[in-house]
A and B are shown apart, each in its own frame.
Chain A
Amino acid sequence: MSTLEEVRASSPVAPIDVERVRADFPLLERSVHGKPLVYLDNAASAQKPRVVLERLQRFYTEINSNVHRGVHALSQAATEAYEGARETVRRFLNAGDVSEIVFVRGATEAINLVASSFGRQHVGAGDEVLITTMEHHSNIVPWQLLCESVGAHLTVVPVTDSGQLDLEAYGNLLTERTKLVALVHVSNTLGTVNPVKGMVALAHERDIPVLLDGAQAVPHMKVDLQELDCDFYALSSHKAFGPMGTGVLYGKHKWLESMPPYQGGGEMILSVQLDKSTFREPPGKFEAGTPSVAAAVGFAAALEYLEGFGGFDGIIAHETSLLARATHGLQQIGGVRLFGTSTCKAAVLSFVTDWAHPHDLGTFLDQEGIAVRTGHHCTQPLMKRFGVPATTRASFAFYNSLEEVDTFVRALEASREFFGA
């Protein structure tokens, strides 16, 4: 069982025990402005379970040292932990080989790496890179920079009124000039889960490689890279309950092997002479300088924690209830316009109200201890598509409770009264 659709279509799955889960996340115990924290900004960054914090603490108190080529015990232990984390990532995402897992700073750097290295190698004057209107700025700007520098063009798959990709347009936009498709797996603003497996297959029919931005997918559903068959996959640790400062670029070996380095420096070389250097095999070739070792090790702890649920079915069942309850609650209030009404979406609610600007609403909710994000969510082209400058976004994680949904809905109702609508 892997996709949201499959889980929702199946016989009822027992949702996770949210109270037990909440006890694993120390930060959730705090209050804000004298009210219990209701953290609904998970799409921006998720909270960390205790096991992650303990792993970080253990790394720094027991084995902290630099990785690779150290002969002393600590360096060997740190290297083992770091390479062990790489294997955990591989297993979690079911990548074919551990050499396909490159540690980077986050999804943004992963995409920049591909734009810079693969892009300059494979995209030339007159070529096209195909993106979509619902991309995060991190999956737009690197391609704009690439296109500008090599004289290529950005082509864009439009978004329908319900916040889904126009798949017919997608098919037509795959041309012999398309050198890469760069596409978001789950929209951070709309929650839409794109049918990426089919989209990858369609691009592959024309020998076009596909990069998926999976930053918002990994925290919510099983991602099986061999099944998706994408060429690149980008993700951030901190959105998936791991530490900030690390993330992963998955790349198929056939691409990583032939791509030039992204940055030069220590760690990524085989030998350096003053006139020429040779580079390590992937993934080392793409990891110049000292990596965020502790963060990578902490990220592995987060993934192991998720594995402890024995798959995503229970998480999806719970998040589906959260989304249904929140959607219903907002619709009951009236005067709320929701963006992203696909039947296949993650637990993200983006909306505007007819009584307050998102920024004012965000301040009001914050006073109630409720953390939401307001603004364009780094998706300005999508905001333009829907004709609004900003929305309020409540994004849920599996540790959010149904009671928190009710608190959020009640606060929204109260805001309506407060702002005098």
Chain B
Amino acid sequence: MSDLRELYQELILDHGRKPRNYRALPDARSADGYNPLCGDEVHVFVKLDGNVVEDVSFQGQGCAISTASASLMTQMLKGKTVTEATELFQTFHDLVTGRKDDEESRNKVGKLVVLLGVRAFPVRVKCATLPWHTLQAALNEKKTPVTTE
């Protein structure tokens, strides 16, 4: 598969075009993320039931990579504990930045592996991680916007 097709796998194009959980969540924790490089923005909403992610959604404007990453993220997180969510982010982050690439990590992130094509495109890694950083900010009720800088 060419690097480009690897980057834009069908699942990514599908989530990019038809993002899941693309809506605001009233009364949820939320945070904003910006990519000053391209002007993209993402707003992540997360509702907790105790320590468990009851619902998670997002809105914003972004490229196929960041939109698909946000969309897949919302699908994966429902029902996970905050600790599990943070661990998932850490593993995904290690994989996508090339810090790790072992079978165990790949299994752990499930269908997020489709996003690993960004490793051949260093300037696009931030597109994939922005929604996740923004999620962390929402969980931590961080008021200042997250940026990729």
Contacts and interface: CB of A to CB of B under 8 A. Distances in A.
A374 B13 contact: no
Interface string B46-70: 0000000000000001111101000
A363 B120 CA distance: 11
B94 interface: no
Nearest to B2: A367
Given A357-B63, A363-B121, A367-B3, A418 B38 contact: no
Given A360-B64, A364-B4, A420 B38 contact: no
A375 B67 CA distance: 16
Q: Which of A360, A375, A420 gathers most chain B CB within 10 Å? A: A360
B37 to A, nearest CB: 6
A356 B65 CA distance: 11
14 contacts: A359-B38, A359-B40, A359-B65, A363-B4, A363-B7, A364-B4, A367-B4, A376-B38, A383-B39, A389-B38, A389-B39, A389-B41, A389-B61, A419-B13
Contacts of A356: 64
Contact of B39 (A360, A376, A419): A376
A357 B3 CA distance: 18
Given A358-B38, A367-B4, A420-B13, 6 more contacts: A357-B62, A359-B38, A367-B3, A389-B39, A389-B41, A390-B40
A418 B63 contact: no
Contacts of A418: 4, 8
B124 interface: yes
B85 interface: no
B127 interface: yes
Contacts of A420: 13, 17
A388 to B, nearest CB: 9
Q: Which of A363, A367, A380, A389 gathers most chain B CB within 10 Å? A: A363
A6 B7 CA distance: 47
Interface string B134-146: 0000000000000
Contacts of A419: 8, 13, 64
A374 B3 contact: no
A389 B63 CA distance: 10
Nearest to B64: A360
Interface string B95-131: 0000000000000000000000000010010010000
Contacts of A363: 4, 7, 121, 124
Interface string B1-27: 011100110000100110000000000
B65 A375 contact: no
Interface residues of A, number: 18
B144 to A, nearest CB: 19
Given A390-B38, A390-B39, A420-B13, A359 B8 contact: no
Contacts of B4: 363-364, 367, 418
Interface residues of B, number: 22
B74 to A, nearest CB: 19
Contacts of B63: 357-360
A359 B13 contact: no
Contacts of B121: 363
A207 B39 CA distance: 38
A357 B62 CA distance: 7
Contacts of A374: 38
Interface in A356-402: 356-360, 363-364, 367, 374-376, 380, 383, 389-390
Interface in A296-331: none
A414 B41 CA distance: 28
Contacts of A358: 38, 63
A154 to B, nearest CB: 21
Contacts of A380: 39
Nearest to A384: B39
Among all A-B residue pairs, the 6 with the closest Cβ atoms: A359-B63, A357-B63, A376-B39, A389-B39, A375-B38, A390-B39
A41 to B, nearest CB: 14
Nearest to A361: B63
Q: Which of A359, A380, A389, A418 gathers most chain B CB within 10 Å? A: A359
Interface in A330-357: 356-357
A389 B40 contact: yes
A375 B36 CA distance: 9
Q: Which of A376, A380, A390 gathers most chain B CB within 10 Å? A: A390
B127 A359 contact: yes
A420 B64 CA distance: 12
Nearest to B37: A375
Contacts of A364: 4
Nearest to B40: A389
A357 B42 CA distance: 15
A407 B148 CA distance: 33
A358 B13 CA distance: 14
A396 to B, nearest CB: 22
